[in-house]
Structure 1
Amino acid sequence: MDVNWKEAKSIYEFHALDIDGNDVHLEKYRYVYRRYTHRGKQGVKFDMFAKINVNGKDAHPLWKYLKSKQSAFLFNTIKWNFSKFLINEEGQPIKRYGLTVNPFSNDLEQDLDKYFAKPPSGSLESDRLPAAAS
């Protein structure tokens, strides 16, 4: 069942096909933050997903949702495979990084440290970081 991305409240309402074609509901990732927050940034194992469209009329609803919540500077498209989104515990995209932001950059690390240093608050507004242009 496709989710209406315009009405979605979080990324946890979406699903995607994994690399083997199995339907994976993103709800299964809701508490990953809690599971790994005390372990630091080590030991995360990532699922592999099937190739999907992230731009255009055939874009996956998840990517339409992410782009609608954190738009880019000038063109609201995913550029190559280097656009990144920081998602809070409630499944809300709180910051978008452009293709020039290195995943190991100080800026991104500082945002991660700032976000992970906060205890879960239950308030979406208190967890928001300032939006960034990509």
Structure 2
Amino acid sequence: MIFLALYDWPSSGAEEGPKGDVMLNCLCRSIKSTVLLSSVTGGLRSRTMCAQVADWKAAKSIYEFSVVDIDGNEVSLEKYRGYVCIIVNEPGDESQIKVFAASYKVEFDMFSKIDVNGDGAHPLWKWMKDQPKGHGTLGNAIKWNFTKFLINREGAVVKRFSPMEDPVVIEKDLPSYL
């Protein structure tokens, strides 16, 4: 499943953000306002996700892509404009992820299965891996579940984190983009 965590530091002085904070506490304890987007990648191979970008290399931001949510509805990533996002691939199928999310009482956006590697990879993932800050340490392929991409408010990849990256490291990087 791909988790897209959206961060929007409260500019109005509000202390509470959208529901979904519980799931991200292990990642970012100090960040308020989160929404989590996801898409299943069972063994890094998955079913469907939709993009309107025929030539993904021409895209300038994640906002040019569309995805299919866990219930089969097409969603434009334009919906998340202005948020700092973390996009993460995660294993499991839709029903497993729904049960997992329900056990944490989170209400974040979740998305259907996709390919993250190879010719059949979703255009969003091809685009993120191709960005200057989206390259992996040992090549661009997604090596395992929980590879994370930090996306700034303009929809650009600003950092890629390995599956083994400590959440504390990610937490330290977030404030400079909020």
Query: TM-score of the superposition, structure 2-length normalised?
Result: 0.55
* Residue aligning to 2:144: 80
> Is 1:60 matched with 2:110?
no
Task: Indicate which of 67, 85, 88 corresponds to 1:16.
Answer: 67
Bigger proportion of residues as strand: 2
- The answer as to whether partners of 2:68 and 2:112 remain within 8 angstroms in 1 is yes
Separation in structure 2 between the aligned mates of residue 96 and residue 52 of structure 1, nearest angstrom: 19
Calculate the aligned-residue CA RMSD, in Å: 1.6
Gaps of 5+ in 2: 1-50, 85-105
* 1:2 aligned onto 2:52: yes
1:109, distance to aligned residue in structure 2 (A): 1.4
Give the residue type in structure 2 aligned to 1:2: Q
Other-structure match for 2:159: 95
1:28 Cα offset (Å):
0.5
Q: Which of structures 1 and 2 has the larger relative contact order (alpha carbons within 8 angstroms, sep 6+)? A: 2
CA deviation vs aligned residue, 1:60-87 (integer Å, no higher than 9, x gap): 0000000001111122111222110110
Which ranges of 4 or more aligned residues in structure 1 deviate by more than 3 Å?
none
Using the size of structure 1 for normalisation, the TM-score is: 0.71
Q: Measured at CA, do residues 92 and 45 of structure 1 come closer, stay the same or move farther in structure 2, by a change above 3 Å?
A: farther
Task: Look up the equivalent residue of 1:115 and give its one-letter code.
Answer: Y
Q: Is the 8 A contact 2:83 2:152 kept in 1?
A: no
Give the aligned partner of residue 109 of structure 1: 171
Question: Structure 1: where are the runs of 5+ without partners?
Answer: 34-43, 117-134
Equivalenced residues, count = 104
How far is 1:45 from its partner? 4.5
